């Protein structure tokens, strides 16, 4: 192995820590990396070995680790106040962040409700939607439409919107009764079309589901353009335009979960802004602090806010809170993140990197088991298959992705896979040269596993 | 009003921010305090006016604001790494914290699962419990027993364990089907007993509920000793001992939600440790970082961990994650918090303050509308009633607590109430003199509202 397995911290880790989203027995063969520090796009272990953070520490880091300006923003806020409750109290960092988010997002979104993570940003949208309908005489509307392979978080409310069996199967019997709809599946398009040129013909499943259940539906939720946990499945913006029209024509809420894709990942600040979409709710988290601190925001249309605004005695207020709502340290970091993203044409400057990712990434398709390399802005993904002709997936048990991950570690890249999908969602500060190195290491790692 | 209402930050707040757990219309008459900095037990607004943080910013702050050692711990960690993902990776601050929590908590708890807030710490316990039963051939066990007036968070899974109508009424139809049980109600004890000397006779409701439904029950959850959101309702440890026995005899899980009471609030580090209780799950958050940053931990018995530990192909792993799980900045702050709590007999040193809180607090009972002053360690609460003889509560609409809160602001104390309960849960670093000032201001504020 790469690290000293008898390092006392590693021993203590295995003794005391239960890691998220992991079969703990896996650590018997691949111990966790004991990371001591991080700098730019690299993580450093205790012995000074470095690993490129190809997946931005679960898609959160936008501007690199140990960024001098983000560090300075946190330190400056720390001198004033780390935290104060957010009921009956407000503070500059939250006010400034709320104003920026409202100004930078689609015009219909006017209010910001803060929480702590992607799951809670979705729970807040779901609860606001339910309470809105209850308070406007349509309490029958209690179901949310979500897509097959969707992922919107793992608290039980958010998990009720999850279309991935592996995440929900153990909890199926206690989840909310929502509506799962067959969504886009562009690599294996049943219509034989291409996402670049189709008219989102697959939208008919959504159309029928909403039509059939319209009186019971509160809202529809999607991850715009990229279904992350599904394996970075990418689909046409036409689908989103059709969904917006459908929601409008049936008067149901549109919840856009941009937790993974916002803040420059796709090349623009918000996908909804770029595409001119007008959601009822916009869920944000992850990159909002550039991977420094937990923070989330749910942006809301004014008509929702107004349905809760009344005398106290009407009991119409939204009772939802987390102790650290709008944590000032996290808000200060988010404000500086936004400044950095908006300065010096930062987002426009991503162009050459996006092209480099595409050029390098497409070379992976030359590999005999790479079925598709797909890309949306600074997100790239290579789907590995047993047979490129039939697109037959590798069996779950074979754990092809996990083997390639281990090969990657030997080559200094940290690219934790999603099943058999190897994906690239590096800090936006990565250079074109580093993109070439990253994809090269991925190619070598894939070869090492699949051509032996 | 106290502040300039045309302060641009206040105007922007009302334009863009939706505050938690608040009827936003209330801010028309009582604008939010615009807090700029905080120091020790005080919050300072933009004009330099100070407010004693009587409720520790929602019960999170243990050691005062702007603590030099907590600030230093965060800065030191910031120089190394703000964050890294926690799947396939570990780091010193999390390992050290997990080890400390396991060593300092009851011996049966061996593993730590990190998350972001109290709600998620409960969701993790609930999901682990459900999956445990599913994986050990008892998938029928899907119900959790919770107490009337219980509060365990507001994500929909956690809200399914809430016994307060105001929080759950709008979402009733989508919540999990759990079992609500009449719990202790010591101020209005239906048995006519006193919490100091009773034998928790009220436990019979729990006993019957579990007996009647035992085959369907996964676990029971309680807030030990103090039901916080209920209005700091306090009850006898005998109840907890009986509950532990009952859970053991029926083989169901005991979930202790110490989110509000742990880390010295009651005088000891953990209530379960102090009382010699052995829960299956222990939920922690709030004070874990002394009110600096969002962080939570769910401690777990080894038998639970073992039921998930197997080959990957068995799909027995616990799939739950938040991007910022075990955030290194928050873990570093938590480690320093524990050091401060354990150094120099800090907890033992609380004795004189606990006595001062009791002596001063009991004087409130002399007020004609104060039905009871109750206390558990450094938590005190005064329940105001319309009639002390009949213990008749003030009507919800009268908002007695909210009026007293406004009077408190004029007197420089921030004591946001729970309905008609004025409560005191100040930073543990408050002095005996400051306790006297705090209770004095509360007394004057109560008088100003109830004797005019």
Q: Last residue of a domain, which of A344, A359, A386?
A: A344
A68 CB within 8 Å of a chain B CB: no
| Residue percentage of chain A with pLDDT more than 70 | 99
pLDDT band of B417, cuts 50, 70, 90 = very high
Q: What is the mean pLDDT of residues A232-254?
A: 98
DSSP characters over B29-90: TSPPEEEEEEEBTEEEETTS-EEEETTHHHHT-SS-BS-HHHHHHHHHHHHH-S---SSSEE
Task: Identify the residue among A93, A144, A155 best suited for mutation to test binding to B, counting B beta carbons within 10 A and taking the highest.
Answer: A155
Angle (CA) A332 A338 A344, round 5°: 130
Q: Which of B311, B329, B344 is the last residue of a domain?
A: B344
Tens digits of per-residue pLDDT, B225-255?
999 999 999 999 999 999 999 999 999 999 9
Q: In CATH, what number is assigned to the domain containing residue B61?
A: 3.90.1150.10
pLDDT, one tens digit per residue, over B123-137 is 999 999 999 999 999
Identify whether residues B338 and B353 lie together within a single domain: no
Is residue B155 within 8 Å of residue A119, measured between CB atoms? yes
| Whether residues B56 and B79 fall in one domain | no
Q: Is B57 on the interface with A (CB under 8 A)?
A: yes
Which whole-number Å values give the CA distances from A182 to A126, A202, B198, B450, in the listed order?
A: 21, 8, 59, 61
Inter-chain residue contact A324 with B294, CB threshold 8 Å: yes
User: Does residue B28 belong to any structural domain of this protein?
Assistant: no
pLDDT score of B2: 58
* Buried/exposed B215-240: b ≥16 CB within 10 Å, e otherwise: eebbbbbbbbbbbbbbbbbbbbbbbb
B112 with A18: Cβ contact below 8 A:
yes
Q: What is the pLDDT of residue B448?
A: 97
pLDDT at B451: 84
Inside any domain, residue A13:
no
Residue A249 lies in a domain: yes
Tell me whether residue A22 is in a domain. no
- How confident is the model over B269-286, as pLDDT tens digits? 999 999 999 999 999 999
Residue A152 and residue A87 share a domain: yes
pLDDT higher than 70, residue A84: yes
Q: A15 at the B interface (CB within 8 A)?
A: yes
Which tokens go with B452?
A: 């005019």
Burial of A193 (0-12, 13-18, 19+ CB in 10 A): middle
Q: Are residues B220 and B253 in the same domain?
A: yes
B 194-223 residues with CB < 8 A to A: none
pLDDT digits (tens, 9 = 90+) for B290-300: 999 999 999 99
Touching B: A residues 389-408, CB under 8 Å: 396-397, 399, 402, 405
Question: Is A88 in the B-facing interface, judged by CB distances under 8 Å?
Answer: yes
Per-residue pLDDT band at A277 (split at 50, 70, 90) = very high
CB-based contact B131:B300 (threshold 8 Å) = no
In chain A, positions 22-41, which contact chain B (CB-CB < 8 Å)? 22-26, 30, 32-38
Considering the domain boundaries, does residue A23 fall inside one? no
Contacts of B309 in chain A (CB under 8 A): 23-25
Q: How much is the ipTM here? A: 0.98
CA A160/CA A177 separation, integer angstroms: 7
Q: Which domain range does residue B294 map to?
A: 71-344
- Do B156 and A22 lie within an 8 Å CB cutoff? no
Could you tell me which residues come within 8 angstroms of residue B208 by beta carbon, excluding any fewer than 6 positions away?
none
Q: What percent of chain B stands above pLDDT 70?
A: 99
Band of residue B4 on the pLDDT scale cut at 50, 70, 90: confident
Q: Give the CA dihedral B436, B442, B448, B449, nearest 10 degrees.
A: -160
The neighbour count for residue A343, using CB atoms within 10 Å, is 10
Percent of chain A with pLDDT over 90: 98
Predicted confidence band of residue A35 (pLDDT cuts 50, 70, 90): very high
Q: How many residues does chain A have?
A: 452
Cα(B163)–Cα(B153) distance, integer angstroms: 11
Q: Is residue B52 within 8 Å of residue B437, measured between CB atoms?
A: yes
The predicted structure's pLDDT at residue B259: 98
Residues of B in contact with A402 (CB under 8 A): 312
CA-wise closest residue to A32 among B281, B348, B95: B95
**Which of A42, A90, A108 has the highest number of chain B CBs within 10 A, making it the mutation to test binding with B?**
A90
What is the token pair recorded at A131? 């309470």
- How far is residue A41's CA from residue A350's CA, in Å, rounded to a whole number? 16
- What the block records as the tokens of B139 is 């998938």
CATH of the domain at A325: 3.40.640.10
- In this structure, the answer to whether residues B121 and B37 fall within a common structural domain is no
Q: Which two tokens stand for residue B440?
A: 């004095």
What is the per-residue pLDDT for A3?
A: 67
Which of A54, A77, A83, A328 is the mutation pick for testing B, counting most B CBs within 10 A? A83
Q: How far apart are CA B287 and CA B343, in angstroms?
A: 17
Model confidence over B383-397: pLDDT tens digits?
999 999 999 999 988
Strands (DSSP E) contained in A166-289 are: 179-181, 217-222, 226-227, 233-234, 253-257, 281-284
Regarding whether A351 and A278 lie in a shared domain, the answer is: no
In a domain, B2, yes or no: no
Q: What is the pLDDT of residues B74-85, one digit of tens each?
A: 999 999 999 999
Distances in whole angstroms, Cα of residue A255 to Cα of each of A180, A226, B38, B82: 15, 15, 37, 30
Whether residue A95 and residue B120 make contact (CB cut-off 8 A), yes or no, is no
Given A303, A319, A344, the domain boundary residue is A344
Q: Quick check: is B12 in a domain?
A: no
- Residue to mutate among A84, A309, A312, with most B CBs inside 10 A, is A84
How far is the C-alpha of B215 from the C-alpha of A233, rounded, in Å?
A: 42
Q: How many residues are recorded in chain B?
A: 452
> Which chain A residues have a beta carbon less than 8 Å from that of B168?
none
How far apart CA A131 and CA A242 sit, in angstroms, is 26
Residue A232 has pLDDT above 60, yes or no: yes
Measure the CA–CA gap between B119 and B154, rounded to whole angstroms.
Answer: 6
Nearest to B126 by CA among B161, B151, B101: B161
CA A391, CA A385: separation in Å to the nearest integer? 6
Determine the Cα–Cα distance for residues B40 and B62; give it in Å rounded to an integer. Answer: 10
Q: Is 70 exceeded by the pLDDT of residue B1?
A: no
DSSP assignment string, B359-412: HHHHHGGGSTTEEEEEEETTEEEEEEEEETTTTEEPPGGG-HHHHHHHHHHHTT
The pLDDT of residue A100 is above 90: yes
Q: What is the CA radius of gyration of chain A?
A: 22
Cβ of residue B72 closer than 8 Å to a chain A Cβ: no
- A132 and A157 assigned to the same domain: yes
The overall average pLDDT reported for chain B is: 97
Quick one: tokens of A130? 């339910």
Same domain, residue pair B261 and B379: no
Confidence grade of residue B6 (pLDDT, cut at 50, 70, 90): confident
Is A90 in contact with B167 (Cβ distance < 8 A)? Answer: no
Q: Kind and range of the H or E element at B147?
A: strand B143-147
Residue B314 lies in a domain: yes
Report A:274-333 residues touching B (Cβ under 8 A): 285-286, 291-294, 300, 305, 308-313, 315-327, 329-330
- Whether residue A289 is found in the same domain as residue A363: no
Of A59, A90, A99, the CB nearest to B32: A90
Nearest of B113, B185, B188, B178 to residue B152 by alpha carbon? B178
pLDDT tens digits, B320-366? 999 999 999 999 999 999 999 999 999 999 999 999 999 999 999 99
- Please tell me the total count of domains within chain A: 2
Shared-domain flag, residues B56 and B125: no
Q: Are residues B378 and B361 in the same domain?
A: yes
Tokens 């033992």 locate to: B348
Residue B155 has pLDDT above 70, yes or no: yes
Beta strand pairing call for A179-181 and A143-147: parallel
Q: Do A66 and B82 touch (CB under 8 A)?
A: yes
For residue A132, give the nearest of A320, A321, A316, A322 by alpha carbon: A316
Q: Percentage of chain B surpassing pLDDT 90?
A: 98
Residues B278 and B360 in one domain: no
Q: If contacts are CB pairs under 8 Å, which of residues 121-150 in chain B contact chain A?
A: 123, 126-127, 130-131, 134-135, 139, 142
pLDDT surpassing 70 at residue A1:
no
């Amino acid at each position: 192995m790469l690290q000293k397995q008898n390092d006392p911290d590693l021993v203590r880790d295995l003794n005391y820590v239960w890691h998220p989203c992991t079969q703990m027995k896996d650590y018997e063969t691949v111990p966790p990396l004991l990371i001591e520090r991080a700098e730019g796009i690299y993580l450093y272990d205790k012995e000074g070995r470095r690993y490129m953070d190809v997946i931005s520490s679960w898609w959160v880091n936008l501007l690199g680790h140990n960024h001098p300006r983000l560090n300075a923003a946190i330190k400056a806020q720390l001198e004033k106040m780390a935290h104060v409750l957010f009921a009956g109290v407000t503070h500059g960092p939250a006010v400034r962040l709320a104003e920026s988010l409202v100004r930078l997002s689609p015009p219909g979104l006017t209010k910001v409700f803060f929480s702590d993570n992607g799951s809670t940003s979705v729970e807040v949208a779901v609860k606001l939607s339910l309470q809105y309908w209850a308070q406007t005489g349509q309490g029958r509307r209690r179901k949310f439409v979500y897509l097959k392979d969707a992922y919107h978080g793992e608290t039980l409310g958010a998990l009720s919107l999850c279309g991935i069996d592996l995440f929900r199967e153990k909890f199926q019997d206690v989840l909310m009764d929502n509506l799962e709809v067959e969504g886009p599946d562009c690599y294996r398009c049943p219509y034989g079309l291409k996402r670049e040129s189709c008219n989102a013909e697959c939208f008919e499943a959504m159309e029928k589901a909403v039509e059939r259940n319209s009186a019971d539906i509160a809202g529809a939720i999607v991850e715009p353009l990229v279904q992350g946990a599904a394996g970075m499945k990418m689909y046409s913006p036409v689908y989103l335009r059709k969904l917006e029209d459908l929601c409008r024509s049936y008067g149901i809420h549109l919840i856009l979960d941009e937790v993974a894709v916002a803040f420059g990942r796709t090349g623009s600040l918000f996908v909804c802004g770029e595409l001119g979409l007008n959601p009822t709710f916009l869920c944000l988290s992850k990159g909002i602090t550039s991977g420094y601190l937990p923070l989330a925001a749910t942006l809301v249309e004014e008509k929702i806010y107004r349905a809760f605004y009344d005398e106290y005695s009407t009991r119409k207020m939204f009772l939802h809170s987390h102790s650290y709502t709008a944590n000032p340290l996290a808000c200060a970091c988010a404000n500086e993140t936004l400044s950095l993203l908006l300065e010096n044409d930062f987002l426009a400057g991503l162009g050459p990197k996006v092209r480099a990712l595409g050029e390098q990434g497409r070379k992976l398709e030359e590999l005999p088991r790479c079925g598709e390399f797909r890309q949306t802005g600074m997100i790239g993904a290579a789907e590995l298959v047993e047979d490129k002709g039939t697109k037959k997936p590798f069996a779950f048990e074979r754990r092809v992705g996990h083997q390639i991950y281990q090969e990657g570690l030997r080559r200094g890249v940290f690219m934790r896979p999603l099943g058999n999908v190897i994906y690239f969602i590096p800090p936006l500060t990565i250079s074109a040269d580093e993109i070439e190195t990253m994809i090269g290491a991925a190619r070598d790692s894939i070869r090492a596993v699949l051509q032996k």
